[in-house]
Amino acid sequence: MNLYALPPLAVGIAAGFFGLLILSSNPRSKLIAPLSFFSLGAAWWLICFGLMYLTPERNLALLFGRLGFIGIAFLPAFSFQFVATHVNFRLPGWLFTSLYAASTFAAAVGLVTGQIFQDVVLYFWGFYPVAGNAYLFFSYYFFALSTLGLILLFSSYSQSMKQLRPLLARQSLLLLLAFCASLLGFIDQFKIMGEPRYPIGYLAVLLFVAIVVYATIRVKAIDVPLTFRFSHNRRRTNYQQIINKYISALAKPEVDLDRFCRLVPYLLTKELYLSAASTMVLDRDKQAYLVRAGEREAAETLGVEIASDSPLIEELLARKREIVLDEVKALLKVRGKDHPAERLRLQAIIDEMNKLKAILIIPSISESGYFNKTMLLSTINLGEKFHQDDFSREDIEFLTTLAHQITMNIEYAFIFEELKRNQAYCVQAEKLAALGTATAGIAHELKNPFTFLYTVVHAMDKRWDDPEFKESVIKILPAEVERIKLILDGLSDYSKMQNLNPEPVELAPVLEKVIAILGHEIKKNSVKIVKEYAEGKAIAVMADKNRIVQVFMNIIANALQAIGPSGGTVALSLVQGSGSNSIVIKDTGPGIPPKTLKRIFDPFFTTKEAGTGLGLPITKKILEEQGGTIQINSSEGDGTTVTVTLPAT
């Protein structure tokens, strides 16, 4: 038995086991896959070389050597892709394809020709290959790519230290040491070039595997289920399945912000097995951040406020990325001793994270032009995992993607809220504009009853005992007062701006108020109002009485303007249905051209010189809010018929 073959065989089997274990944990991971293939490539190399030491036949030994080179050929490409992925060094896909193509070409040349290993020589440990003509070029390629990877890792370590990210810095440092250790195997290249020394490449692989395992356990350098705590109960999170499952809920712009805020913690606690999760959203009125939903332990944080100028919020805005509680604690240990102000700031961040029951906070930051500046809109606050696992790079990438989606939804909700607020102002402005137009007519309508009252008041002291005077006052005064009341009630109902309040409303009195308000316009245009309904018959609908006055003001005022000074008729009729009642308003105006009729509900579209183009769109919106509809039928020369339908009481 050749004992010299045992070390490479044993280390090769261990490296192969390690590679298969991490590959099985998440074969789709862009970080884990190249690392596992690097380990498997090293395992293939060591096992083939161990078998080469064992065999007594020269030709079989040469075959094992050339087979082992296949593993060596791919090591530079696998290591470089892993490093580039770890440090987020973005490279075009074709570059990695080219590297793997070059590795495949080198492996093929090494297997079928003598350009890589031309022969083998027998040493005291067994046969060992002799370099061919092309081996030196491959060595340059191996060394150059490995050196570039080390430079990237060192750059990541330095940058992380400057950015005060101790966890990422330790990850990069340990991986840097692991790949430096793996380069010790490069010493074996001199043996292949003719130096008579027992190969120690297996030690390089052993050190590499040991350091990576240590980095995985201590600083979560890679996300694998081993922890070499060998946790068998950890469940792998399939983020693609989560996205597919909730894509409709996450991607749909959400008007109901509270509902969306509840969905996110529910999704995360269920799918990531978290002890706590909550969403905190900017309250623009209070200039503070409010926890609007929480699951499990975070349910206690509902309603918690964090000031917009707090250290936590300022740190999130400055970083524009996640905050990890352990990272902040590590910073406190490093910088807190010599910097009292920094110690207080970091401690305040820790206290606020504890208040939110969070060990990880993912920000949703908007840089859109809507806010005119970078804004922190919300945060996802996450507690510990039930399995006591740390949050991995993949976890954070998924959560960051989710935060981007949340940003878009909150922006949409904020914009929608503002539009609703502006719409309410538009409705009120349209009311006031219509009132402004009708002011002269209203003043004229009130002038007659007030003139009568004025005359009565000044004549009372002289003619109160006159029976004829008393009789005329008793006969006329109630009707004039009732007319004033009708106009003022209509104006009050019309001008109020308040929340939607549907209630049973009789239609006939509403129409009477509108006719009273528009009385002057009706007389001025010589328009006859025809009431095709029994005034004593109660036909009611469920509607907001204030807004319904505005609806009929807009429609009847449009009819009067369409008829113009030449005179005409406006017929009003009430139609009872099974679940709804309709009001039909028909005028004898000139009618509406088909092209205009198609656009009649478009906001700001108007055929009037002084029109706003908002009357009918607002009318339609008011009716739709109350479960009603409006239909307009018209043809040129044949007048216009407007049918308003509302739910019956």
pLDDT tens digits, 402-458: 787 777 777 777 766 666 665 555 555 555 555 554 554 555 555 556 665 666 666
Question: Cα–Cα distances in Å, from 450 out to 328, 344, 436, 480, 482?
Answer: 77, 74, 21, 8, 12
- The pLDDT score that the predictor gives to residue 226 is 43
pLDDT tens digits, 201-231: 888 888 888 888 777 766 566 655 444 333 4
Beta-carbon contacts of residue 473 (< 8 Å; ≥ 6 apart): 456
The strand pairing partners of 33, in sequence order, are none
Q: Is the pLDDT of residue 354 over 50?
A: yes
To the question of pTM greater than 0.75 for the whole model, the response is: no
Could you tell me which residue, 464 or 239, shows the higher pLDDT?
464
Protein fold of 239-417: Beta-Lactamase (3.30.450)
- The pLDDT score that the predictor gives to residue 232 is 37
pLDDT tens digits, 131-167: 888 988 988 888 898 889 899 989 988 887 776 666 6
Average pLDDT over residues 383-412: 76
Question: Do 625 and 500 meet the contact criterion of CB atoms below 8 Å apart?
Answer: yes
Distance CA 316, CA 430 (A): 44
Q: Residue 168 is which amino acid? A: L
| Superfamily of segment(s) 419-647 | Histidine kinase-like ATPase, C-terminal domain (3.30.565.10)
- The pLDDT score that the predictor gives to residue 570 is 92
Q: Give me the residue spans of the domains in the chain.
A: 3-219, 239-417, 419-647
Architecture of the domain spanning 3-219: Up-down Bundle (1.20)
Neighbour count for residue 500 (Cβ, 10 Å)? 11
Phi-psi region of 504 (alpha: psi -120 to 50; beta: other; left: phi over 0): beta
pLDDT tens digits, 584-615: 999 998 888 888 888 787 766 677 655 556 67
Question: Do 591 and 633 meet the contact criterion of CB atoms below 8 Å apart?
Answer: no
Beta-carbon contacts of residue 295 (< 8 Å; ≥ 6 apart): 265, 266, 268, 269, 274, 276, 277, 278
239-417 and 419-647 in the same fold: no
**Banded pLDDT at 285 (limits 50, 70, 90):** confident
User: Looking at 203-207, 256-260, 530-534, 608-612, which range is the least confident one?
Assistant: 608-612
Average pLDDT over residues 321-344: 83
Distance CA 529, CA 509 (A): 15
Phi-psi region of 613 (alpha: psi -120 to 50; beta: other; left: phi over 0): left
